[in-house]
Amino acid sequence: MNFRSDNEAPVNTTIMQAIVAANSGFDESYGYDSYTNKLQQEMQKLFGCWCEVVPLTTGTAANSLAMALTTPAYGSLLCYESAHMMTDECGAPEFYSGGAKLIGIGGDEGKINTGSLDNYLAGVGVHGEHECLVSAISITQSTEAGTLYSLQELRQIKSIKEKYGLLLHMDGSRIANAIASLGCTVAEVTWKSGVDLLSFGATKNGAMMAEALIIFNPKIAKEIKRMRKRAGQLISKMRFVSAQLLAYLKDDLWLQLATHANQQAQLLLHALKSSHEFIYPVQANEVFLRLSPKAIRQLQKQGFEFHVWPGSHDIIRLVFSHATQSKHVVELIEALKKPL
């Protein structure tokens, strides 16, 4: 019973069928195919605005291209101190941007603290040309801690970005889980909240390998095509990535899959909230739970798979996906309720 990662979940059947259906005959290569054209239109409908849609194969590529588009080589981008970009992308964002700097800002529950962000920015500039030019902020929605930025928090970040004339990137590797949970539109959470570009993830929520960088700000969209090529992300048979994203959006499949994943997390929360320590509020599809090392070993012996959080011996991360079966969550709850 796998609660280790949504990356380990299978591909959703409808999306798999869409790949197979796209596999008939010839179509243009390098993004000039009918699927990618249609995707451009569908995303514009979804967001209700102009946007440039750039299909990609990994979230790391989306985040790294976002950094390259927003931050010059002599610049810096501010993100949460343990954001995925900071800790799990092997320096790719800095590499793509030609050496720009990532700067971590502290906070709680996986989110940048807006007071710390404002304080940091207020102190910028005293070293003149000796310091990197702060160019952008990146936030993750839903966060690496399974929490969410509320619309009010997003408004605060928007006003900070505007105060200092910065660009705003959102790592939406799990944006579907955020939208399904917040119950507002994806437009409200992104461009209406000042987001200039979004890494729109689908792989973790049912696609095989399909992400897209969605650029809302035409000023930064100009050079994306050459940058994508230089990043090795100009996919010749792009139709198979776009076909996944089209199936993902059709009839709100993306929200249905994310709702299912979120509901599994809520099932666990409601069954155990009075008996167990949840490290962060459970707002999307990831749960961090404190357990004794003995209880952790016991669960592992019973075949439950999850990560013991690096650097800790008593915190586990459970990830629920579109493919998580409720009966397995119930089994997990029962195992957790048993006295040791």
Positions touching ligand PLP (CB under 6 A) are: 7, 58-60, 63, 84, 140, 144, 171, 173, 203
C-alpha–C-alpha distance, residues 333 and 314, integer Å? 18
Q: How far apart are CA 290 and CA 288, in angstroms?
A: 7
Between 7 and 292, whose beta carbon lies closer to ligand PLP?
7
Rounded Cα gap, residues 226 and 243, in angstroms? 23
Closer residue to ligand PLP, CB minimum distance, 90 or 122: 90
Instruction: Please say which residue, 61 or 243, places its beta carbon nearer to ligand PLP.
Output: 61
* Of residues 88 and 334, the one with the C-beta less far from ligand PLP: 88
Distance of CA 40 to the CA centre of its chain: 20
Contacts for 33 with CB less than 8 Å, ≥ 6 apart: 27, 238, 239, 242
Residue nearer to ligand PLP on the CB measure, 33 or 286: 286
Least gap, CB of 15 to ligand PLP (angstroms): 16
Rounded to the nearest whole angstrom, what is the least distance from the CB of residue 84 to ligand PLP in the complex? Answer: 4
Q: How far is the CB of 340 from ligand PLP (least distance, A)?
A: 32
Which of these, 183, 255, 243, 258, lies nearest to 212 by C-alpha position?
Answer: 243
Closer by beta carbon to ligand PLP, 262 or else 295 = 262
Q: Is 4 or 225 the residue whose CB approaches ligand PLP more closely? A: 4
Distance of closest approach, residue 30 Cβ to ligand PLP, in angstroms = 21
Smallest separation, CB 111 to ligand PLP (Å): 13
Contacts of 256 (CB under 8 A, 6+ apart): none
Task: Provide the H-helix boundaries in the chain.
Answer: 13-22, 34-47, 59-70, 84-87, 92-96, 114-122, 151-163, 175-182, 186-189, 218-221, 224-230, 239-249, 253-272, 293-301, 326-337
Unique residue bearing structure tokens 């720009």? 100
Q: How far is the CB of 148 from ligand PLP (least distance, A)?
A: 13
Q: How far is CA 26 from CA 22, 239, 240, in A?
A: 10, 10, 12
Nearer to ligand PLP, 84 or 317 (CB): 84
Burial of residue 209 (CB within 10 Å: 0-12, 13-18, 19+) is middle
Q: Tell me the residue nearest to ligand PLP as measured from the CB.
A: 59
Give the chain's length.
Answer: 340
- Whether a cis peptide bond, with omega within 30° of 0, leads into 142 is yes
Among residues 52 and 144, whose Cβ is nearest to ligand PLP?
Answer: 144
Least separation in angstroms between CB 295 and ligand PLP: 26
Q: Which residues fall within 8 angstroms of residue 79, CB to CB, at 6 or more apart?
A: 85, 86, 102, 103, 104, 105, 112, 137, 138, 139, 140
Output the smallest distance, CB 201 to ligand PLP, in A.
Answer: 7
98 φψ region: left (φ > 0), alpha (ψ -120 to 50), beta (else): left
Q: How far is the CB of 86 from ligand PLP (least distance, A)?
A: 10
Contact 260/273 with Cβ under 8 angstroms? no
